[in-house]
Amino acid sequence: MGQRDHVDRATRAFVGLGANLGEREKTIRRALERLGDASGVAVVAVSALRETEPWGPVAQPQYLNGVAELATTLEPETLLSLLLEVERSLGRTREGERWGPRMIDLDLLLYGDAELDVPGLTLPHPRLHERRFVLGPLAELAPEAIVPGLGPVAALLESSNRKGGDTLPP
């Protein structure tokens, strides 16, 4: 099998990136390196990283958020397992309050045009369309991308901006 065959069979996936503890940008960059080093995954593009207000009920520092575009031959569940392993390797723990502070957060947002709802994984990400801190960076990379069941990313971002959405500036 040639390199071209591998690329042709890859699925386009998007991963949300976030951190609000420690050296946020450095931790995000290390996560991207680990993803790029993994078999069956190539980091194709990364949005600009943005300072955002924390979301949720817990007082905490500001986040640094972005989105990465991946080309992957991994199945969605395997890719999710890889994301969770990278989080753990960089100090992420899942104890504590939901939406609390974290060293790193990697969310599988889109996996091709897959719609999936299995224990531990829902695709597209169930709150993707409500979060400008995800929609903004995603639109930077792929405004034409379709969120299954909801429509184009650019239109979702425009709608979110009109509604006020979360705290990411339009």
Residue 51 has a pLDDT of 94
| pLDDT value of residue 124 | 95
pLDDT of residue 164: 59
pLDDT of residue 14: 98
CA pair distance 132, 12, nearest whole angstrom: 21
pLDDT tens digits, residue range 4-38? 344 558 999 999 999 999 999 999 999 999 999 99
Residues marked as catalytic: 92, 102, 105, 107
Distances (CA, A) of 93 to 87, 90, 97, 106, 113: 8, 9, 11, 12, 30
What confidence category does residue 39 fall into, taking pLDDT thresholds of 50, 70 and 90? very high
Matching CATH number, 3-126, of 3.10.129.10, 2.40.50.140, 3.30.70.560, 3.40.640.10: 3.30.70.560
pLDDT at position 60 is: 82
pLDDT of residue 6: 47
Full-model pTM? 0.87
pLDDT, average across residues 126-137: 90
Answer yes or no: is pLDDT of 168 > 80. no
Contact between 125 and 108 (Cβ < 8 Å)? yes
The predicted-structure confidence for 93-111, as pLDDT tens digits, reads as follows 766 555 567 889 999 999 9
pLDDT in tens, 41-74: 999 999 999 998 886 667 789 999 999 999 999 9
Q: Which residues contact 90 (CB under 8 A, 6 or more apart)?
A: 27, 30, 31, 34, 103, 104
- 63-72 and 41-46 as β-strands: parallel, antiparallel, unpaired? antiparallel
Residue spans per domain, the chain: 3-126
